[in-house]
């Protein structure tokens, strides 16, 4: 055992904290009331935590509940602080770290506008087909594609469209849900 990890007379010892950051997807069930999103976001900004992705929508209309999906990149210690602080907010019902729980599905939607004329037009359509991108608008000079999937898939599609005439990208942010019959 390394000397710096050996107990020092106490029954408890703590291994040094890793400063390695990890990407985590948090699902937060909240009351759907004015200002809750601002309170959640201000919790992050006041403490200098960065939000990689944020989505929110009412999910249970009759009970006026919304689900906020937040993707953060943080150290394990910071992640624990984030979860504890979220749980303390009054309109928050539950906080789940879907990444830690391990059994979840995540998807993102992107609208991607690409110039499409000349020789690049056929190549653009061929690649879109390979990515199962849907054409939602087409002119003689451009296309707008709808792509859904994991963020890495969308990143790859955008990367391939860049040299073909990428014009504009709009992304929704991540939506995620646990697998299995249980509710949040």
Q: Do 91 and 112 fall within a single domain? A: no
Give the closest residue to 176 by CA, choosing from 105, 115, 79, 86. Answer: 105
CATH of the domain at 160: 3.30.70.1150
pLDDT at 3: 44
Q: Do 148 and 137 fall within a single domain? A: yes
Asked if the structure places residue 7 within a domain, the reply is: no
Q: Do 123 and 81 fall within a single domain? A: no
Asked if the structure places residue 14 within a domain, the reply is: no
Asked if the structure places residue 112 within a domain, the reply is: yes
Q: Do 123 and 84 fall within a single domain? A: no
Q: Do 35 and 73 fall within a single domain? A: yes
pLDDT at 2: 45
Q: Do 56 and 28 fall within a single domain? A: yes
Distance, in Å, from the CA atom of 83 to the CA atom of 43, rounded to the nearest integer, reads 11
Asked if the structure places residue 53 within a domain, the reply is: yes
Q: Do 116 and 167 fall within a single domain? A: yes
Q: Following DSSP, what letter does each residue of the chain receive, concatenated? A: --GGGS--SSS---PPPP---EEEEEEEEEE--TTHHHHHHHHHHHTTPPEEEEEEEEEETTTTEEEEEEEEEE-HHHHHHHHHHHHHSTTEEEEEEHHHH--EEEEEEEEEEEE--THHHHHHHHHHHHTTPEEEEE-SSEEEEEEEE-HHHHHHHHHHHHHHHEEEEEE---EEEE-SS---
What is the Rg, in whole angstroms, of the alpha carbon atoms belonging to the chain?
21
Q: Do 113 and 76 fall within a single domain? A: no
CATH of the domain at 48: 3.30.70.260
Asked if the structure places residue 2 within a domain, the reply is: no
| Domain with 117 in it | 105-177
Residue 128: Cβ-neighbour burial (10 angstroms; 0-12, 13-18, 19+): buried
Q: Do 134 and 118 fall within a single domain? A: yes
Asked if the structure places residue 171 within a domain, the reply is: yes
Report the domain count for the chain. 2
Across-strand partners of 97? 26
pLDDT at 130: 97
**Residues 76-121: pLDDT tens digits?**
888 999 999 999 988 999 999 999 998 999 999 999 999 988 888 9
Q: Do 109 and 170 fall within a single domain? A: yes
pLDDT at 18: 57
**Which of the listed residues 50, 76, 102 is the one where a domain comes to its end?**
102
Residue ranges for the chain with pLDDT beneath 70 = 1-18
**Which of the listed residues 54, 83, 102 is the one where a domain comes to its end?**
102
pLDDT at 8: 47
């Amino acid at each position: 055992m390394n000397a710096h990890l050996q107990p020092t007379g106490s029954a408890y010892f703590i291994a040094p904290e890793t400063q390695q950051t990890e990407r985590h997807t948090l699902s937060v069930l909240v009351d759907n009331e004015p200002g809750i999103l601002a309170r959640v976001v201000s919790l992050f900004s006041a403490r200098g935590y960065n939000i990689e992705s944020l989505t929110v929508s009412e999910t249970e209309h009759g009970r006026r509940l919304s689900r906020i999906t937040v993707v953060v990149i943080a150290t394990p210690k910071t992640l624990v602080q984030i979860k504890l602080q979220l749980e303390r907010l009054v309109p928050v019902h539950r906080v789940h770290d879907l990444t830690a729980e391990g059994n979840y599905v995540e998807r993102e939607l992107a609208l991607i506008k690409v110039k499409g004329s000349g020789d690049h037009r056929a190549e653009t359509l061929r690649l879109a087909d390979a990515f199962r991108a849907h054409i939602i608008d087409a002119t003689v000079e451009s296309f707008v594609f709808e792509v859904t999937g994991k963020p890495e898939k969308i990143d790859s599609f955008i990367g391939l469209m860049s040299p073909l005439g990428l014009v504009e990208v709009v992304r929704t942010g991540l939506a995620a849900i646990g697998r299995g019959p249980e509710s949040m």
